[in-house]
Structure 1
Amino acid sequence: QHMFKLKIVMPAHFLRASGEERGTLFDAFSDAAQRINVYTAFDYIDIMRKLIEAWQLDKISGLNAEAEKARDYIMKFPDRMDRISQRIVIPEVGPQFKWLVPATAK
């Protein structure tokens, strides 16, 4: 529960292009990945649903109040993320990455 509330920071979040601020490259890269459907918020949601099912979180019993609240939070997380993800607007055109040069430009 703590990981979800504090947000999981992907190691790539700290990527940067030379001369750029740390973290700016990750946002552009994430937008590009979602735009071309390589890895989207919906993939993340699907993974969460599969893990919750595989771990059978709904069948765990004997939890104290804090653990019960944490489990309920995790169980509701995919639906919450789904609602948020449906409102995300991915730009149709993204930035050009410095290291990618079209074959026709060479």
Structure 2
Amino acid sequence: MTHSLATEITPYTGIVYTSFQERATFITHGKTAQLAKQNGDPVLARICGTIAADEKRHENAYQKMMEKLLEVDPTDAMLGIGDMLGQNIRMPAQLMYDGENPNLFNHFSIVTQKLGVYTIADYADILEFLIERWKLEKLVGLIGKAHEAQDFVCRLPRKIRKLQERVEERAHKMKPQTMHFSWTFNKEVTL
């Protein structure tokens, strides 16, 4: 099944996106809180922990909405899930720009991957979590292309895990590189 970018955001794709995004931000803020605590910044740890708790509440609300949609309209809900997850979920941070670095998000992503704040494994874990929470493998009564969407989504975590393996193999072969971030006063960071 080929998935193209959605031409419009629907209530279904919007709820899928927020279900995924809220879980991702819960994870990243939680891990940032742990790193802050380990590195002696209890104030930052507390702030990030509070944000993570808020994100968890948001996550639960959106995921419950999708559960209800899957109950009352499984075919269109599954199509929405397939459409949104077929795009690779993009986080709002992808739009960040500091006025200097046109590759800021890519560099930021490298840092979060290296630090373990948000990794490809987290992406696959979130997919697996949503598939299980929404019981997507057990959905019955789907009509038309919704079966294809179900198969696609349920196989997606394995594809992401294979990508993760390739990325990790490449990372082990790479020499350390340095980057500068304007928000760290252009301090050199070695990755």
TM-score (structure 2 length as normaliser): 0.48
Query: Secondary structure of the equivalent of 1:6?
Result: coil
Question: Between the two proteins, what is the percent identity of the paired residues?
Answer: 32
Between stretches 32-41 and 90-99, larger displacement belongs to 90-99
> In structure 1, what is the Cα distance between the partners aligned to 2:159 and 2:92?
24
Structure 1 unmatched runs, 5+: none
1:87 is the counterpart of 2:171? no
Give 1:96's aligned residue. Answer: 180
Highest relative contact order (Cα 8 Å, sep 6+), 1 or 2? 1
CA contact (8 A) 1:32 1:94 kept: no
Match of 1:15 in 2: 96
TM-score, normalised via structure 1 length: 0.83
The question of whether the paired residues in 2 share the 8 Å contact of 1:28 and 1:94 is answered with no
**More helix by proportion, 1 or 2?**
2
**Match of residue 157 from structure 2:** 78
Aligned to 2:51: none
Offset, 1:94: 4.0
The one-letter amino acid paired with 1:2 is D
Task: Flag structure 2 segments of 5+ consecutive residues without an equivalent.
Answer: 1-81
CA RMSD in angstroms comes to: 1.7
**Residue 113 (structure 2) pairs with residue 29 (structure 1):** no
